[in-house]
Amino acid sequence: MELLTTDEMARADELTIADGTPGFELMRAVGRAVADAANDLAEEGPILVVAGRGNNGGDGFVAAAELAAQGRDVSVILLCDRATLKGDAALAAKGWKGEVLPCDPSLIGSPALIIDALFGAGLDRPVKGDPKVMIDAINASGVPVLAVDLPSGINGNSGAVMGAAILATETVTFFRPKPGHLLLPGRSYCGKLRVIDIGINDGVLSRIGPKTAENNPDLWQDAFPLPRVDGHKFTRGHAVVLSGDIAATGAARLSARAALRGGAGLVTVASPRDALAVNAAALTAVMVRPIDTAEEFAGLIGGKVNACIIGPGAGIGARTAGFVKAGLAAKRSLVLDADALTSFADAPDRLFDLIKADPEAEVVLTPHEGEFSRLFSDLSEESETQSKLDRVAAAAKRSGAVVLLKGPDTVVASPDGRAAIASNAPPWLATAGSGDVLAGLIGASLTQGVPAYEAACIGVWMHGEAGSEAGPGLIAEDLTEVMPAVFRRLYDRLGIPY
């Protein structure tokens, strides 16, 4: 599903209004949807609506009137003087026939549910003073909260907490989710997210042209590689994974096994001679070749090889950088992870220039935050004006590669401006070697000819699903072993027979 920035959402509203649906109609649809969600969350007991001065507050007034008409016991707290409300919000407040209470936290009481309609997309500065006191008091009350559009205080574009934010039980948003619903910390403040149809036609999307999406199969199913009936292992492609020295071979083996499990037809570990026996003893379906130098590596991948995974356990320095250069020179699809990235920390532009020299290059960089800041030091910090999404998008543009920044909200960005945010990764994926498996899974799709952006998105999503499938207590080795179950669930979801 597409994600809309707050500006893009405002544009969707404008286009819908221009096409003949009055803005107040949209607000009424929102208010009714909020009332439905409130009834689901609290079947009985009093409901308190806390409204702000903008249209988010207007949604709150519509919901309050709707719930009262259904016989619910509703009260409303308003952040400002009722007489100062404007436009649709003022119209909505007129429809509320009850009392309006002032912004005093002692009036919260102990309702069954609080509807948070303080701020939505219009939040444009840090929350201070009265609204902050109110938000803190709502959070401290222990009462379940239904947030309208966004938990108040969460920035819809970045997911940042602007001073203070409502910790919602559930959030109802409209038409399409916003990046702030998926990016941390915003996602953690939303509780369960409901996306409601309020009568905005999907046709407006082609006029808006959103570039950001949620990372799930809807985004990449057309690119997902399926084995052909008349195929053989070479049609599924050959991946080469570079091994580290004798003390650091496990990471490459994890990547190699993941590449094979992920669907590569053949996988070879390129191993230093001193580690050959260790690798050979530990591998079965994955092949091993003795490779000590970048020249030997170039020779190996110059043959029938589609993609290379370089970095896991590879060692930091000129040697690994030389293998990366060989991979780029051979025009193979590449996953550059871990040490392959850090090996360019002293001169990242050298790497980017090499990547950009071939506009057709299919290269995925897979840093975690530490590696990311080594390559993109000026993009290492999140700020009010620079979300994780902005940082990764800028990194992709600068490097000429698809960049994936790991975490609970892994972002994949393409130099052409597309970006995807994943929200399916469970926290127990944060375990040694998990990233090596991710590199292998991305390599699996690249090997089968999937373009870098889709390959990265597919790998991230499958990795998250594998984490859920293996469950708490998993170690990296488990991720590769649950891949058949992940494939089966995906095939079922896409309606592909097997």
Ligand X SMILES: Nc1ncnc2c1ncn2[C@@H]1O[C@H](COP(=O)(O)OP(=O)(O)O)[C@@H](O)[C@H]1O
Among 4, 12, 27, 335, binds ligand NAX (CB under 6 A): 27
x-or-dash string of contact with ligand X, 341-370, rule CB under 6 A: ---------------------------x--
Q: By three-state DSSP, how is residue 75 classified?
A: strand
Among 54, 311, 408, 443, binds ligand X (CB under 6 A): 408
What's the closest the beta carbon of residue 203 comes to ligand NAX, in angstroms?
18
x-or-dash string of contact with ligand NAX, 115-144, rule CB under 6 A: ----xxxxxxxxx---x-------------
What's the closest the beta carbon of residue 102 comes to K ion, in angstroms?
19
Annotated ligand binding at 57? The verdict is yes
Size of the site for K ion (CB under 5 A): 5
CA 177 remoteness from chain centre: 12
What's the closest the beta carbon of residue 267 comes to ligand NAX, in angstroms?
49
The DSSP symbol for 379 reads G
What's the closest the beta carbon of residue 59 comes to ligand NAX, in angstroms?
5
x-or-dash string of contact with K ion, 76-115, rule CB under 5 A: ----------------------------------------
Phi, psi for residue 250 in degrees, rounded to 5: -60, -40
Alpha-carbon torsion, ordered 379, 384, 388, 394, to 10 deg: -50
Annotated ligand binding at 153? The verdict is no
- The region of 236-244, 257-265, 378-386, 433-441 touching ligand X under the rule CB under 6 A is 433-441
Annotated ligand binding at 125? The verdict is yes
Closest by alpha carbon to 213, among 426, 422, 438? 422
The DSSP symbol for 113 reads E
Q: Are strands 74-78 and 113-117 parallel, antiparallel or unpaired?
A: unpaired
Decide if 168 contacts 187 (C-beta within 8 A). Answer: no
103/486 with CB nearer ligand NAX: 103
Q: How far apart are CA 422 and CA 429, in angstroms?
A: 13
Residue nearest to ligand X (CB): 435
Q: Is 213 in the site for ligand X (CB under 6 A)?
A: no
Annotated ligand binding at 353? The verdict is no
156/415 with CB nearer ligand NAX: 156
Q: How far apart are CA 210 and CA 483, in angstroms?
A: 32
Q: By three-state DSSP, how is residue 65 classified?
A: helix
Residues in the chain: 498
What's the closest the beta carbon of residue 10 comes to ligand NAX, in angstroms?
6
Among 16, 75, 152, 343, binds K ion (CB under 5 A): 152
Among 430, 468, 477, 490, binds ligand X (CB under 6 A): 430
Burial 92-108 (b: 16+ CB within 10 A, else e): bbebbeeebeebebeeb
Going along 230-279, which residue ranges are E strands? 238-242, 266-271
Decide if 167 contacts 145 (C-beta within 8 A). Answer: yes
Among 2, 47, 50, 56, binds ligand NAX (CB under 6 A): 56
What's the closest the beta carbon of residue 133 comes to ligand NAX, in angstroms?
12
Closest by alpha carbon to 253, among 224, 297, 286? 286
- The region of 111-119, 133-141, 270-278, 402-410 touching ligand X under the rule CB under 6 A is 402-410
Q: In sequence order, what are the residues at sequence separation of 6 or more whose Cβ sits closer than 8 angstroms to the Cβ of residue 65?
A: 31, 92, 95, 96, 97
Q: HEC profile for 87-110?
A: HHHHHHHHCCCCCEECCCHHHCCC
Among 2, 8, 116, 454, binds K ion (CB under 5 A): 116
Q: For residue 270, how many other CB atoms are within 10 A of its CB?
A: 26
Among 8, 32, 38, 52, binds ligand NAX (CB under 6 A): 52
Q: Is 407 in the site for ligand X (CB under 6 A)?
A: yes
64/338 with CB nearer ligand X: 338
Q: Would you list the DSSP string of 395-457? A: HHHHHSSEEEE-STT-EEE-TTS-EEE-----GGG-STTHHHHHHHHHHHHHHTT--HHHHHH
155/423 with CB nearer ligand X: 423
Binding residues for K(+), by number, are 56, 116, 152
Binding site for ligand NAX (CB under 6 A): 10, 13, 23, 26-27, 30, 52-59, 119-127, 131, 148-149
Binding site for ligand X (CB under 6 A): 338, 368, 406-408, 410, 425-427, 429-430, 432-436, 438, 463
Binding residues for (6S)-NADPHX, by number, are 55-59, 120-126, 149, 251, 313, 368, 436
